[in-house]
Chain A
Amino acid sequence: MNHISKAIDQLHAVDNEARSDGWLQCLHPLAKLVVTIVYLVVLVSFPKYQVAGVLLMAVYPITLCILGDVSVSLMWRRIWIVLLLVCFVGLFNPFIDHTPLIRIGSFTLTGGMVSFFTLMIKGCLAVMAAYLLMLTATMETLCHALRKIYVPAVLVTVLMLIYRYLIVFLHEVEHMTQAYALRAPGQRGLNIKVWGSMIGQLLLRSIDRAETVYGSMTLRGFQGEFFTERPQRISHIDWLYTYGWIAFFLILRLL
């Protein structure tokens, strides 16, 4: 099952990118999180026929990708998958909405076509914004930012544990499915006969591991929260970055 290896590689790649020494990576994670959220809110608030405004919103991700030397190749595959889903939802717009909007010579762009195009652009830009966040902030720094905005400690701790053990379990699942494939040639996935025993065994081993992790945490004084990264101060550049982009988004929206 090759897609598991690809998922592991993607995780490694995203993590590497987030730990590099670019200026974007050095910004405070809270600044990046806030800007991303505001960007998304403003982006999706554009009415369905507002092509110009939505196109201008592309300034943010494109500028950051270029100036931040962020790897765009990691995003493309994800963008395609999201675009497919968004396409399915908006596909019927051109056939239902015939409101004439823009005339180019004898050709009329209808409302349906415009709204479909706008939807696709929004889909693309939203994915880019989310990916930029992940490519420029490690999970630990993001969790620190989440705590700053009062996301409960329980959730953040669970999030960090899932992230830590995700690769361990992906490797286990990869080995398990490879071992299965070597003894069941020609089969694409797991046969129904082994659904229960294979996944059940993995579940029981997971619970045993969880108990050991709990023991390990307790022995080292665990009180219910992970005390994360050495706290990073918010600098003037972080404020400038945050307010600058938010002002830009709001101006675009209100124009």
Chain B
Amino acid sequence: MNVLDIDNLSFAYEDLPGGQRKEVLRSLSFRVEEGESVGLIGANGVGKSTLLKLICGLLDIQQGKMVVAGLEVCRRNLKTIRSKVGYVFQDSDSQLFMSTVYEDVAFAPRNYGLKPEEVDEAVMRALSQVGMTERKDRQVYRLSGGEKKLASIATVLAMPVSLMLMDEPTVGLDPKNRRNLIRVVNSLNCAKLVASHDLDFILDTCQRVVLLTYEGTVIAGTAQDILNDQDLLESNGLELPLSKNYLNKIMPQTRPFD
């Protein structure tokens, strides 16, 4: 079963300064299956974040259709959809708005009316999934960048989500925290749609990739196919993942990834 079904989706920003209108997405169609991990890549400004916001209803659909976990994305279904979709924002400080880690992770379960024992169970389960149980009582402002990112993921895992949306999850992480994040993301059972410029991270965590072009359309394929296609990537403002680039340089004769 598909967790996400996007059909002919178009979106434009109206009412820009000077009365301008900017078309960002044009007749987009793609799917994400249950448990699948899909990377969403594209140059700056092509509409990756816009697409993620449309999926969880933070922006209204103008044209096209979107179905999330069997429910059409519209105002009447928003509350249910949002209980099944988790969004990990790029800026962890915008996601973590309570004082302590525990309070932040407990925010969603409490709002959805779970009893205190159920809230506690949900929080501890989410924190153990990301390896943050020992820091549950720590103040958010004391967390490192990596810890904040893991805590952000935990806030989303506190409710059973079918689809997790991640917006630039590796920004600001040092190599160790980045590797830890890869491990955590790969351990999650839910479907994931990961928007990122870190193509090596996409390579390590996603089976399929959806490339958003400058024209607002998509090119979809396996991670290996898309992230090996240097011409395709470069024509869309991207480059080969660093690992592939490096290997091509040290083994120029064979170029094993061509």
Chain A residues packing against B (C-beta within 8 Å): 15, 19, 138-140, 160-161, 163-165, 167-168, 209, 212-213, 215-223, 226-230
CB neighbours (8 Å) of B140 from chain A are 164
Partner of B89, one of A165, A212, A218, A228: A212
CB neighbours (8 Å) of A138 from chain B are 99
CB neighbours (8 Å) of A218 from chain B are 58, 82
Known: A209-B91, A222-B111. A216 touches B83 (CB 8 A): no
Q: How far does the alpha carbon of A140 sit from the alpha carbon of B1 in the complex, in Å?
A: 43
**Residue from B87, B110, B155 with most neighbouring chain A CB atoms (10 Å):** B110
| B31 CB, min distance to chain A CBs, angstroms | 22
A220-B155 in contact (CB<8A): yes
A139-B141 in contact (CB<8A): no
- In the complex formed, the residue of A with least CB distance to B105 is A220
CB neighbours (8 Å) of A230 from chain B are 116
10 A-B pairs with CB atoms under 8 Å apart are: A15-B139, A19-B139, A138-B99, A140-B99, A168-B93, A209-B94, A219-B87, A220-B107, A223-B111, A227-B111
- In the complex formed, the residue of B with least CB distance to A138 is B99
A221-B93 in contact (CB<8A): no
CB neighbours (8 Å) of A165 from chain B are 93, 97
- The verdict on B5 contacting chain A, using a C-beta distance below 8 Å, is no
What total count of A-B pairs have CB within 8 Å? 73
CB neighbours (8 Å) of B106 from chain A are 227
- In the complex formed, the residue of A with least CB distance to B107 is A220
Interface size on B, residues (CB 8 A): 31
Q: How far does the alpha carbon of A215 sit from the alpha carbon of B110 in the complex, in Å?
A: 17
**Residue from A140, A212, A219, A222 with most neighbouring chain B CB atoms (10 Å):** A219
**Residue from B58, B141, B159 with most neighbouring chain A CB atoms (10 Å):** B141
Tell me what chain B mostly uses at the interface: helix, strand, loop, or mixed.
helix
Q: How far does the alpha carbon of A223 sit from the alpha carbon of B110 in the complex, in Å?
A: 10
Tell me what chain A mostly uses at the interface: helix, strand, loop, or mixed.
helix
**Residue from B97, B103, B140 with most neighbouring chain A CB atoms (10 Å):** B97
CB neighbours (8 Å) of A19 from chain B are 139
| B166 CB, min distance to chain A CBs, angstroms | 13
- In the complex formed, the residue of B with least CB distance to A171 is B141
B82-A216 in contact (CB<8A): no
Q: How far does the alpha carbon of A165 sit from the alpha carbon of B111 in the complex, in Å?
A: 21
A164-B98 in contact (CB<8A): yes
CB neighbours (8 Å) of B99 from chain A are 138-140, 160, 163-164
| A135 CB, min distance to chain B CBs, angstroms | 16
B89-A140 in contact (CB<8A): no
Q: How far does the alpha carbon of A213 sit from the alpha carbon of B94 in the complex, in Å?
A: 5
- The verdict on B227 contacting chain A, using a C-beta distance below 8 Å, is no
CB neighbours (8 Å) of B110 from chain A are 227
Known: A168-B93, A216-B97, A228-B103. A221 touches B53 (CB 8 A): no
| A217 CB, min distance to chain B CBs, angstroms | 7
A221-B94 in contact (CB<8A): no
- In the complex formed, the residue of B with least CB distance to A216 is B95
| B98 CB, min distance to chain A CBs, angstroms | 7
Known: A15-B139, A218-B58, A223-B111. A212 touches B91 (CB 8 A): yes
CB neighbours (8 Å) of B100 from chain A are 140
| A188 CB, min distance to chain B CBs, angstroms | 29
CB neighbours (8 Å) of B108 from chain A are 220-221
- In the complex formed, the residue of B with least CB distance to A166 is B141
